[in-house]
Structure 1
């Protein structure tokens, strides 16, 4: 078995952020992905730019995904910078939400970018800064 590079370890955490969110694995996000406190900026979609807890982030997302049948994030174009125990990642991503009972179109899509900062902790890399910048959204935005 081959050891992963530091860059691969960091990208794996970012990929797990999206996968765990898609599968609504809230405890895994708290235990494996985020630090306890996170600088969290979702102001481009009407949220706040604030320091909050990983639990509060998961509670917010869990509430926001209620009634949605499927969530799918696709991310890439990673630009990773590593400085000792701190790393930054820029990524493009799309998020598609699907609701079978919606009558005005069953999907909505968000296209944007992420600026993420991670810190190396004894248990591995963890996200302590998270910023989402929406480029555009389309589809049935209310999934009504």
Structure 2
């Protein structure tokens, strides 16, 4: 039981490190959170990207033009099966881009569905799917 609790805490720490890397634009740290065979999906769009370098390139290209972000996670559920795990949590992600007609803010909320693997460097994502549930604000913050 102690190992399972330790693993769950470590998995939550990886999820938190992901959010922190996005908000601090620490792309090197973000890349270390994925296994070499990891895939990342943006649910509903059909977009699927594999490999840490390609994942980081996609995420960074989407966030570089935004002035600030804040990604918050909650309601973590992790199931550990030896050296493999599934995790899900909710997110709210605030995006700020100053000076846009229609407003500076866009708030997105949804769910992350993850698979992780224990590696010599700790737990790492092998798969992450982002599913948006709702949003509000100016969508041009994300696209202009």
What TM-score comes out, normalization by structure 1 length?
Answer: 0.89
Match of 1:93 in 2: 91
Equivalent residues, number:
139
Q: Is 1:39 matched with 2:39?
A: yes
Q: Is 1:66 matched with 2:68?
A: no
Alpha carbons 1:30, 1:36 under 8 Å: kept: no
- Counterpart CA distance in 1 for 2:46 and 2:81 is 30
What's the secondary structure of 1:8's corresponding residue? helix
- Does the C-alpha gap of structure 1 residues 55 and 133 become closer, same or farther in structure 2, counting only changes over 3 Å? same
Ranges of 4+ aligned residues in structure 1 off by more than 4 Å: none
- Counterpart CA distance in 2 for 1:63 and 1:9 is 28
Alpha carbons 2:43, 2:132 under 8 Å: kept: no
* 1:1-144 pair list within 5 angstroms: 5-31=6-32, 33-44=33-44, 46-50=45-49, 52-143=50-141
Residue 39 of structure 1 and its aligned partner are, at CA, apart by 2.3
Where structure 2 has 5 or more consecutive residues not aligned to the other structure, the ranges are none
- Counterpart CA distance in 2 for 1:97 and 1:140 is 10
- Counterpart CA distance in 2 for 1:43 and 1:8 is 26
Residue 47 of structure 1 and its aligned partner are, at CA, apart by 4.7
Tell me the C-alpha RMSD between the 2 structures: 1.7
- Counterpart CA distance in 2 for 1:101 and 1:37 is 39
Alpha carbons 2:23, 2:70 under 8 Å: kept: yes
What's the secondary structure of 2:140's corresponding residue? coil
Residue 18 of structure 1 and its aligned partner are, at CA, apart by 0.8
Where structure 1 has 5 or more consecutive residues not aligned to the other structure, the ranges are none
What's the secondary structure of 1:5's corresponding residue? helix
What TM-score comes out, normalization by structure 2 length?
Answer: 0.89
Alpha carbons 2:107, 2:136 under 8 Å: kept: yes
- Counterpart CA distance in 2 for 1:90 and 1:36 is 21
- Counterpart CA distance in 2 for 1:28 and 1:47 is 26
